[in-house]
Every structure is written in structure tokens, then in C-alpha cells.
Amino acid sequence: MTMTKSPLQVARAAYQPKMPVALQGQVSLKEGAKTQSVADQEEIQKLFPNTYGMPVIELVPQEGEATQVAPFNVGVILSGGQAPGGHNVICGLFDALKRINPENKLYGFLGGPSGLVEGKYAELTEDVIDEYRNTGGFDIIGSGRTKLEETEQFDNGIKVCNELGIKAIVIIGGDDSNTNACVLAEYYLQKNCGIQVIGCPKTIDGDLKNEMIETSFGFDTACKTFAELIGNIQRDANSAKKYWHFIRLMGRSASHIALECALQAQPNVCLISEEVEAKNMTLNEVVEQIVEVVVARANAGLNFGTILIPEGLIEFIPAMRVLIQELNDMLAENEEFAALEGDDAKREYVKSKLTAASCDLYRSLPKGIAKQLTLDRDPHGNVMVSQIETEKLLIEMVQKRLAQLKATKEYTGKFAALNHFFGYEGRCAMPSNFDADYCYSLGNTAAHLIAAGKTGYMALVKNLTKPASEWVAGGVPVTMMMNMERRHGKMKPVIQKALVDLNGAPFKYLAAHRADWADPQLSYIYPGPIQYYGPSEVCDQPTRTLMLEQSNN
């Protein structure tokens, strides 16, 4: 007989996620005070007249008889990059919908937001859902990065929802997708079409967090997966004693993933983009910071080590940021550039359009890196930093600098470097207990917000360093998290990205300990793989970031 599932897969299929007490029985809503956006209040209010200022909501246990709710249908969309736990949001949503009324139906829009616009969907029935409980990936319905922004797309959505009797759409996505969810909610209220929109905070990057959203789902599992790999590499480095490992980690602009992995594995160096920017560092200064550690360790006879590099680093070097901004504005809807054939023609075109300082910087970069900077932006206008091989650029520059130091006898070690990029390895990992529980609770929460007629909200679950039974579930108006930012050359309302806070406890911990971690007296940690069964202190711990952040409160 062929085996189609590993024993762990079978065990995980039967895992019952832990949930806050408030979600375990009948639920009612408690509304707080009116809210304001985090910045640019006047502009945001003008753009979102119907969804601005709504109160924060808390879900609380309901006393007495269950309220009868007429059956309704819901559509769900997975948007953007995969994040562990997405399937459990859908499973939690499904189970809560069925508890609210067994006749409720859940449809999944296929391939991301385009599924809604193009009317591509599948009904998610019990047998489908059961296949995906506590699994990683987004393959239950697929994901995509189509941006929902045109009224034509919104109107198509109305047609499709009406055909399926859908009363609400749940968009599981990051900051950009949830911004779009809010635009959609606002439009549907203006049109009075009766379709609600609820968001859920997803992204491994960890940059969708604020006063209300303690963390985005997927960050926990992805970081634990990367930290395991980094620990394994450190053990290899410490055994063979011959390589410097330059490890770039996903996370887009924010360095949360690199920081969390550093807290878990204690590498010799961890660069934090936000610090590089705050200190106004040049690329050469970043290189110098690495070289100092390499030289110090070589002097102690250790020609090996680990260096963590956040994937967005390059955007945070001030001169590089100006260059990227110029490239963004230049490349936005630039058909002339798109029509050019061959790398040389494109390079010459770019050089002719840049300011003198940016042009000099562009010319000084290795050609491969310069080309990577001009690759297509994603549909939200972001540079695709995952495709820029900053770790190779740094290796090359460190190598050059060490050669100079060797010539003057200031460095006598050996330098052999290997490059790694971790991102896709962790985005679809089997969710940790934390993510499995958190996501299932988020899905449940979304169902209750829908049943109560809410729209323009993001589902939230907080108190996350406490046992799951003490978590608090509710909803936050998406407009509360918004500000105005420049995108595609224009000012747009978007959910404010949370970058690493240099005054926050996680960064301060790194800053206080990194000299010890660089030191020849090794302090590597080998975190090992995620554990699903065993003592709670091994299996249910949230990230170090969350624990340090909350230990301050």
C-alpha cells in the first residue's frame, strides 16, 4: 500500500486548535470608543467616509439562549505570499460559520483576488476542509497578487457574489491586501450592495502589526523554520571551521524576521535595515561593520561565522533609497523602458534618466545587482527585494576590503564565504501550534464579525503570550491603521507598515548582546525543529519578539 501522508501529517489532521474562552460558546460583541487613523486623519476620513471612525470590537461570551441567525454564504480569498496557518484561518472560518448556522456555505475564490473578479471559485465543504486542517501552504484555493483597485473589478465582485448569494468576503492578506479590503468595503457601503468585507492579518514578514494587531500569522512558524536552518548551519560552521555564511532572510522592507532569527540562534552578525537607515550608514560602512567582526575572529583563529542580512537592506542605505525611489518613479507605467531590448540598452536608458548622484551609485554597483534593481515592481509598486542578491554583493565587497587589509598585514586570516537565501523554505511550513491556534481563532473571529453585520474590519486576536484560552478576540477598523504613503509615484491611503522599532525591547536585546555573539567565545544557539507534541514550553511558545515586546507592558 502506498502511503499518501506522513505519520505527522495524519497526527496533525486530528489536532484540535486551542481557542480563547470567548470563542468557545455563544458569542456577542462589545463595542469600544470611536477610532481615528494613525496619521493623516483628514485625508483618510475624506477617502473613507463610511468606514472611518468605527469602534474597536471585542468578542465576549454570550449569556443565555443562542441568537438565531438566518443562513448566509461567505467567500474567502488568500492574497499575496504564502504564510503558515492560512488553511487554519479558512478551517476556523468554516467551523464557526457552520456553528452559527449549519446551512451557511463557504466559497473559496481561486488564485487570489482575481478569483473574485473573474468568478473563479469552489465551494469548501467539510471533506475539503478536513484535508487541510493544520497544514501549511495556500493550496486549498491558491493565492495571487492581483491588486483590487478598479471599480470595474469591484462591480464584477458584486455580480459574482450576488450569483452565489455571498453576503461577505474575507480577505486573508498583508498590509496592501487589507488596504484593498478596506477600499472594497467602503465601495460596497457606498453602493449599498449589502456585501461585507473582513480582513485577516497575514504575512511572514511580521510588518503588519500595531497597537491592535500583535503579530501577523505565519511569522512564528517561518522564523522558527529559518532559525532551525541557521542553527544547523552554525553547527556545520563550528564543525568544519572554514566558511563564513552570508544568510539573507525574507521580510521585504522590515527586518523583523532577521531580528527574530538572531534572537533565536545568536549569529555572529545580524544587520538590521532600520538601524542602518537611522545611522545614515553607507554601503561601505555596512561592509566595514562586517569586516571588523571577520578580522577579530580571524585574529582569534576562527575563520568562520554567520551573518544575517534582511532582504530589504539595500533600500535602507540612504543613497540607495534615493536611487530606488528614482527608479520606482521612472519605471511606473514606462512603456518606453519596457519596449527596450537587451540589458545594455536598458542600462543606458536608466543612466540617462537618473540624477548625477544616483547615476554614479548605479554605475558603481555590480551589473547583476544594478539590473535586479530595475526588474518589474510588484502590483503594489514595491521593489521585489526577494530578487536582489544583497548577500552576494556584500560577500564581494567584504572580500575586496579584506584583500586591502591583507596587503597592509592588518588581516591574516582566510576568507571563504557561502551565500544562502531563506524565504520559500519557511512560507509553507506546517504551522507551529501557535500559528495553528492563532489562525483558527482568527477564522472564527471573522465569522462572528460577519454574523454581526460588520464590514471594513480586520479580525484580531491579542494577549498572545498568554495561554490560548486567555486570548482576546475582536475586530479593528482597517481605517484606524492607515496613513498616506507614496506608491507608484502617487500619494495613496495604506495600512502603516511596522518596521523594527529601534526603541523596542527586541532590538534593544540584540543591541545589548551582539558584541557577545560576535566574540570568539561562541554563543551560538541551535534551536532545532518546530515541535508539535510535548511539553508546552517546547511546543507552544510564541516568538522571542512577541515575548520581549510584551514583557515590557
Distance, in Å, from the CA atom of 19 to the CA atom of 441, rounded to the nearest integer, reads 6
- Least CB distance to ligand FBP at residue 204 (A): 6
Q: Which stretch binds ligand FBP (CB under 6 A): 16-24, 37-45, 78-86, 532-540?
A: 78-86
**Residue placing its CB nearer to ligand FBP in the complex, 75 or 80:** 80
Q: Does 427 bind ligand FBP (CB under 6 A)?
A: yes
Residue reference for cell 491556534 = 437
> Could you tell me how many residues of this chain bind ligand FBP (CB under 6 A)?
15
CA angle 481, 310, 312 (to 5 degrees): 60
Q: Which stretch binds ligand FBP (CB under 6 A): 109-117, 199-207, 240-248, 459-467?
A: 199-207
Distance, in Å, from the CA atom of 450 to the CA atom of 167, rounded to the nearest integer, reads 8
Out of 205, 220, 260, 391, the only residue in the binding site for ligand FBP (CB under 6 A) is 205
**Residue placing its CB nearer to ligand FBP in the complex, 83 or 287:** 83
DSSP class of residue 512 equals H
Cα–chain center distance at 509: 22
Quick one: cell of 133? 486542517
How many H helices and E strands in the chain?
A: 22, 15
- Least CB distance to ligand FBP at residue 546 (A): 18
Three-state secondary structure along 300-369? CCCCCEEEEEECCHHHHCHHHHHHHHHHHHHHCCCHHHHHCCCHHHHHHHHHHHCCHHHHHHHHHCCHHH
Give the residues across from 476 on adjacent strands: 458
Q: Does 386 bind ligand FBP (CB under 6 A)?
A: yes
Q: Does 81 bind ligand FBP (CB under 6 A)?
A: yes
Q: Does 266 bind ligand FBP (CB under 6 A)?
A: no
In the range 433-452, which residues lie near ligand FBP by CB under 6 A?
none
176, 205, 207, 435: which is the annotated catalytic residue? 205
**Residue placing its CB nearer to ligand FBP in the complex, 196 or 372:** 372
Listed residue (434, 438, 467, 463) closest to 553, CA to CA? 463
Q: Does 89 bind ligand FBP (CB under 6 A)?
A: no
- Give the count of alpha carbons within 13 A of 365, CB side only: 26
Instruction: Specify the length of the chain in residues.
Output: 553
Give residue 220's identity as a one-letter amino acid code: D
**Residue placing its CB nearer to ligand FBP in the complex, 22 or 320:** 320
Q: Give catalytic status of residue 205 as yes or no.
A: yes
Q: Which stretch binds ligand FBP (CB under 6 A): 12-20, 21-29, 203-211, 389-397?
A: 203-211
Out of 423, 431, 474, 493, the only residue in the binding site for ligand FBP (CB under 6 A) is 423
Which residues have C-beta within 8 Å of that of residue 499, sequence separation ≥ 6? 207, 253, 254, 255, 273, 274
Distance, in Å, from the CA atom of 184 to the CA atom of 177, rounded to the nearest integer, reads 10
- The answer to whether the CB of 224 falls within 8 A of the CB of 190 is no
**Residue placing its CB nearer to ligand FBP in the complex, 291 or 500:** 500
In the range 125-184, which residues lie near ligand FBP by CB under 6 A?
174
- Least CB distance to ligand FBP at residue 262 (A): 17
Give the residues across from 202 on adjacent strands: 217
Q: Which stretch binds ligand FBP (CB under 6 A): 200-208, 404-412, 432-440, 516-524?
A: 200-208
- The answer to whether the CB of 321 falls within 8 A of the CB of 261 is no
Which residues have C-beta within 8 Å of that of residue 545, sequence separation ≥ 6? 206, 215, 219, 256, 259, 260, 263, 506
**Residue placing its CB nearer to ligand FBP in the complex, 202 or 401:** 202
Distance, in Å, from the CA atom of 110 to the CA atom of 299, rounded to the nearest integer, reads 57
Q: Which stretch binds ligand FBP (CB under 6 A): 201-209, 235-243, 354-362, 369-377?
A: 201-209
Give the residues across from 306 on adjacent strands: 245
- Least CB distance to ligand FBP at residue 110 (A): 17
Out of 93, 140, 385, 458, the only residue in the binding site for ligand FBP (CB under 6 A) is 385
Per-residue contact string for residues 223-262; x = within reach of ligand FBP by CB under 6 A = ---------------------------xxx----------
- Least CB distance to ligand FBP at residue 339 (A): 24
- Least CB distance to ligand FBP at residue 341 (A): 25
Return phi, psi of residue 35, to 5°.
Answer: -115, 170
Per-residue contact string for residues 307-336; x = within reach of ligand FBP by CB under 6 A = ----x-------------------------
**Residue placing its CB nearer to ligand FBP in the complex, 297 or 427:** 427
- Least CB distance to ligand FBP at residue 420 (A): 15
- Least CB distance to ligand FBP at residue 392 (A): 17
Listed residue (210, 219, 216) closest to 56, CA to CA? 210
- The answer to whether the CB of 506 falls within 8 A of the CB of 547 is no
Say how many C-beta atoms besides its own lie within 10 A of residue 3's C-beta: 8
Out of 204, 298, 323, 458, the only residue in the binding site for ligand FBP (CB under 6 A) is 204
Active site residues: 205
Q: Which residues bind ligand FBP (CB under 6 A)?
A: 80-81, 83, 174, 203-205, 250-252, 311, 385-386, 423, 427
